[in-house]
Amino acid sequence: MASSSRPSNLKEEDVAEIKKAMATGASAQDSPKSISSVPPIVCYCVASILMTVVNKFVVSGPNFNMNFLLLGIQSSVCVACVFAVKKLSIISFRDFSVDDAKAWFPISFLLVSVIYTGSKSLQYLSIPVYTIFKNLTIILIAYGEVIWFGGRVTGLTLVSFFFMVLSSVIAAWADISDTLTAGDPAVSEGLSMVRNVVSSLNIGYFWMLVNCITSAAYVLTMRKRIKSTGFSDWDSMFYNNLLSIPVLVVFSIIFENWGTENLTKNFPPETRNFLLFAIAFSGAAAVGISYTTAWCVRVTSSTTYSMVGALNKLPVAASGMIFFGDAVTFGSVSAISVGFFAGLVYAFAKNNQKKAESANQPGIIPMTNRKT
């Protein structure tokens, strides 16, 4: 009899989780027992790959320099999609409140910084290098949690951090080596070209560093603010995008050239419609990533989701080689492989840490900020 009551309890818990995280109003028959885990995992991977590839395509134009406008369009499309999905009663989130907007505005501003620096990084760096260096954000977040939230870092997590740093070093070495080879004065336009390509890489790595720092600050600050506001995932997504629109519009007007000549360079007549469609599509893809993330966690587990996140770095990096002709060299493949391995080790480390903490087991290296 105990075995027959347990599935019923699981179904009730799953319905509660669905209403809390997705607000879909799903019934008990939508439990993980009856839904295959393959579709949400595949959808999550496809959405994240499409988002990265489309953004890289848009910012890779030879004359593209209107990143704030790009982000403003994406945020507007995202808000419109979320409103449309809410009208269809697929999701729900709280109505707009001035008090909530004031409390959440600093988070939205940080998000603007994260997305802008990410787009600038993609403008100068290849997708594999960008994907690998994003791993360093995990390290910053982990130690930020140690300092501000009393978090802990296990020995296995430290091992994963080592491999993350190693993969980034390999990626940078391979990237610079390949660029210098391509710009060899003996086969190209001389020493000036070498200086130009190295300067371009330095700009890309600068934006990547700023992106890692702002990403960590965004995640840590949002975690603290969510606890005080009680925002759900859809609440935070709605306010993030809605509040970022005026910031992006103002920044675009102030810092970007809205002259006819520059607009024509950024959106050439022959590709204008396709570019605008790609920008709108990437905004909709952001909604897709949020939805498939919640879907994936709901029908699988947080451990499976973390593993998917680690495994997903491989096809995302490979997409750059497939769609943008990024160099496939021993260095680049080695960097991707080491980064892939680091992601797996990190996923296992976090899973083991949760088990150890729940069982109050020893074996965790204390790295907390002790309060006296």
Cα distances (Å, whole numbers) of residue 371 to 1, 92, 146: 49, 40, 12
pLDDT digits (tens, 9 = 90+) for 130-164: 888 887 888 888 888 888 877 788 888 889 889 88
Inter-residue contact 82 to 268 (CB < 8 Å): no
When the pLDDT of each residue in the chain is averaged and rounded to a whole number, the result is: 75
- Give the confidence band of 179 by pLDDT, cuts at 50, 70, 90: low
- Give the confidence band of 285 by pLDDT, cuts at 50, 70, 90: confident
> For the stretch 48-67, what's the b/e string if a residue is b when 16 or more beta carbons lie within 10 angstroms of its beta carbon?
bbbbbbbbbbbbebeebebb
Task: Spell out where the chain has E strands.
Answer: none
Question: What pLDDT was estimated at residue 370?
Answer: 52
Cα–Cα distance, 54 to 39 (Å, whole number): 22
Distance of CA 128 to the CA centre of its chain: 14
Backbone angles phi, psi at 166, to 5 degrees: -60, -45
Question: What pLDDT was estimated at residue 195?
Answer: 52
pLDDT digits (tens, 9 = 90+) for 306-351: 566 666 667 777 776 776 666 677 877 888 888 888 888 887 887 7
The answer on pLDDT for 182 being more than 70 is no
pLDDT digits (tens, 9 = 90+) for 39-89: 877 887 788 788 778 877 887 777 788 888 888 998 899 899 888 888 888
Backbone angles phi, psi at 271, to 5 degrees: -125, 5
Among candidate residues 359, 355, 342, the one with its CA nearest the CA of residue 167: 342
Question: What pLDDT was estimated at residue 31?
Answer: 43
